[in-house]
Structure 1
Amino acid sequence: MRALRILLVFVVILGGVFIAVDRAAVYFAESLVADRVKVSGAEIGSTDVSIKGFPFLTQVAGSELDEVDVKISGIETSANGRSLRINRMNAELHQVRLTNGFSGVTAARATGTAVVSYEDLTKAAGEDVAIEYGANGKVKVTGAVTVLGRTISRSVLSTVSLTDGHTVRLHADKVPGEGIPGLERVVRERTDFEREIGGLPSGLKLETIRPTAAGLEISVTGTDVALAG
């Protein structure tokens, strides 16, 4: 009986040591992956990586992780000579394949959300244009225009949509005309516009877009999504 108790204590100690080593390895791997995350054609601010599942060591021995959650802040993208900043992107990566000692990180499938703030959208819109949340799933776009020698400011509620799976489009539902010839055309030249979102990790694509109080919320999905290597 005494020998059995000693054996049980020994097993518990070994189990504790294994868990400690496993968690330490996870922490090291998360830092390593975060440092190596790259977004093709874009600059990124900060990256946070969380590796799910237990035990980690058996996963890494098979060079595949069950799930990895990645949070990226400040993605500076550019497409067709125009820049657009993604404030943050959260992604859940599944069946993550590892190659060359974490140099290569590729997920079999991924889902996530990207957010573009109205401040960043305003910067991308052009001079004398301001964009904010307009409530009820709309955005409010305000622009200054010159008509018949007069500079006037007009605000419109716009519908936001995705075109071609990678371009954000703002289109005013209605433009107040007030009987001024050509006003609607001039206002739309300022308030209606499109901006392509480039620089997302290879394999990710935009699915849906929804205006919220915090910004434009874009759902993303993908297969064979490469984050490093």
Structure 2
Amino acid sequence: MGARRAVVGTVVTLVVLGTGAVVADRVALGVAEDRAREVVTQQLAVTGEPEVAIHGFPFLTQLLAGELDDVDAAATGLTLEGVEATDVRVTAQGVGLTAPHTVRAATLAATLPPGSLERVLADRAGLAVDLTVDGGVLRAGGEVLGLALSAGLVPRVEGGVLLVDLTDVALGERTLDLDDLPGGLGDRVTGLEVPVEGLPEGVVLTSASVVPGGVRVTAEGADVVLPEAP
């Protein structure tokens, strides 16, 4: 009977210790995620409070190793050098915990809504158009000589730069040949650069596609050095 009680006591002690370790691990994780939210807010012009999730269990072993395995962050909005983006998602692997803080691999995805792109087209090409999403293209609408103007724009990334190409133009009910557009308008819009600046050093644009909310862009980086929080 005494031996059985000893065994039961040992098991209870181990369960209590194990539960305490798990609780401590979760508490440390919560503190780290709160701090990560503060850093994201300090370093990026995000809208609202970002969500941060640090993956991997146990968490304390990652602290001891000085590196977080996987970190996800999300924000409803972000402003990059005047260009507004929505539905921002960040994934990072190998996030260093000692200065200088580095990220072994990072991916950022965000959507540039039509309104943001309208302002860029107005500033860079002098085009006052209304943009809407039309399947896999952006549809630019306006008016010329009392006739409705419709133009298709498709985004692409080349050399880390976001560009838009003119694919089709219709004036009223007539489809126009791009080479016949007056004033070299086709050349002015095709390959037009859409500035997406303010990304962390080492992170560059890699892809762009049209989605229901606008243009979804993805940027990637390796061995990215994070700026120190103020």
TM over 0.5: yes
Q: 1:112/1:44 Cα in 2 relative to 1: closer, same or farther (>3 Å)?
A: closer
Q: 1:176/1:50 Cα in 2 relative to 1: closer, same or farther (>3 Å)?
A: same
**TM-score of the superposed pair, with normalisation by structure 1:** 0.81
Task: Please say which of residues 5-14 and 154-163 is displaced more in the overlay.
Answer: 154-163
Q: Deviation digits for residues 162-191 of structure 1, max 9, x if unmatched?
A: 23312x2222212236599x9823564886
Give the counterpart letter for 1:37 in structure 2. Answer: V
Q: How far apart are the structure 1 equivalents of 2:6 and 2:182?
A: 90
Helix, strand or coil for the counterpart of 2:202?
Answer: strand
Trace 1:155-170 onto structure 2 (pairs within 5 A).
155-166=150-161, 168-170=162-164
Unaligned runs of 5+ in 2: none
Q: 1:106/1:37 Cα in 2 relative to 1: closer, same or farther (>3 Å)?
A: farther
Aligned-pair CA distance for 1:155? 0.9
Q: 1:227/1:73 Cα in 2 relative to 1: closer, same or farther (>3 Å)?
A: farther
Trace 1:38-77 onto structure 2 (pairs within 5 A).
43-45=45-47, 46-77=49-80
Answer 1 or 2: higher relative contact order, Cα 8 Å, separation at least 6.
Answer: 1
Q: How far apart are the structure 2 equivalents of 1:77 and 1:179?
A: 36
Q: How far apart are the structure 2 equivalents of 1:175 and 1:19?
A: 62
Residue 31 of structure 1 corresponds to 34
Helix, strand or coil for the counterpart of 1:30?
Answer: helix
Q: Is the 8 A contact 2:41 2:50 kept in 1?
A: no
Q: 1:131/1:164 Cα in 2 relative to 1: closer, same or farther (>3 Å)?
A: same
Aligned-pair CA distance for 1:29? 0.6
Q: 1:4/1:206 Cα in 2 relative to 1: closer, same or farther (>3 Å)?
A: same
> Which 4+ residue blocks in structure 1 deviate beyond 6 angstroms?
none
Aligned-pair CA distance for 1:39? 8.1
Helix, strand or coil for the counterpart of 2:155?
Answer: strand
Q: How far apart are the structure 1 equivalents of 2:204 and 2:75?
A: 16
Residue 130 of structure 1 corresponds to 130
Helix, strand or coil for the counterpart of 2:170?
Answer: coil
Q: How far apart are the structure 2 equivalents of 1:199 and 1:109?
A: 18
Q: 1:179/1:130 Cα in 2 relative to 1: closer, same or farther (>3 Å)?
A: closer
Aligned-pair CA distance for 1:227? 4.0
Aligned-pair CA distance for 1:205? 1.4
Residue 7 of structure 2 corresponds to 4
Helix, strand or coil for the counterpart of 1:202?
Answer: coil
Q: 1:172 aligns with which of 142, 166, 173?
A: 166
Q: Is the 8 A contact 2:74 2:88 kept in 1?
A: yes
Q: Is the 8 A contact 1:140 1:155 kept in 2?
A: yes
Unaligned runs of 5+ in 1: none
Query: CA RMSD of the aligned region, Å?
Result: 2.7
Q: 2:21 aligns with which of 18, 38, 49?
A: 18
Residue 217 of structure 1 corresponds to 216
Matched, 1:121 2:117: yes
Identity %: 25
Q: Is the 8 A contact 1:38 1:228 kept in 2?
A: no
Aligned-pair CA distance for 1:144? 3.6
Q: 1:84/1:222 Cα in 2 relative to 1: closer, same or farther (>3 Å)?
A: same
Q: Deviation digits for residues 115-152 of structure 1, max 9, x if unmatched?
A: 112232223332631111111x211111344xxxx354
Q: Is the 8 A contact 2:169 2:175 kept in 1?
A: no
Q: Is the 8 A contact 1:133 1:140 kept in 2?
A: yes
Q: 2:182 aligns with which of 180, 185, 188?
A: 185
Q: 1:200/1:57 Cα in 2 relative to 1: closer, same or farther (>3 Å)?
A: same
